[in-house]
Amino acid sequence: MYADIALFDTYFVFYADLWCFISAVFFSLIGLNYFCLIWAKKEPNIWLTILHLFLQIASLTPFIYVIFSLKSDNKLPTNIFLSFVDLDQALVVSFMIFLFSIFIHLINFFTSLFLKTK
């Protein structure tokens, strides 16, 4: 199963199965990072954790919507739920938010790991 994403005059073909596997590995690594903090008896910053979780959910919602609404010919749907939203650009914005949430997670992880506790 693949998604054909048109962005202006450029077409990108992404295989959905590959991205699902990559995201599963990525979330496993995030879980491993938080486990390492618990193992080292360090507390993550609560506000950075909340911001990270909020950004992850905000970035994955359009991605999951598009994956589950692909047509049988693997084209992105049009005029299904929100006809005024361009799904191609929504996926690009979703990816940018995802990258920002990764940055927030890494800041949270390394500051919690290397800062001294009381």
The per-residue pLDDT for 54 is 94
What's the predicted TM-score (pTM) here?
0.67
Q: What is the block-wise mean pLDDT of the chain (118 residues), using blocks of 10 residues?
A: 66 69 82 88 89 91 75 62 69 88 91 78
Report the pLDDT value the prediction gives residue 88, as an integer from 0 to 100: 75
Residues facing 2 on adjacent strands: 15
The per-residue pLDDT for 104 is 93
Total domains present in the chain: 1
Residue whose entry in the numeric block shows the structure tokens 């008896």:
41
Domain that holds residue 109: 2-114
- Smallest CA-to-CA distance from 55 within 106, 99, 11 is with 99
- For residue 61, the model assigns a pLDDT of 86
Residue 40's pLDDT is: 86
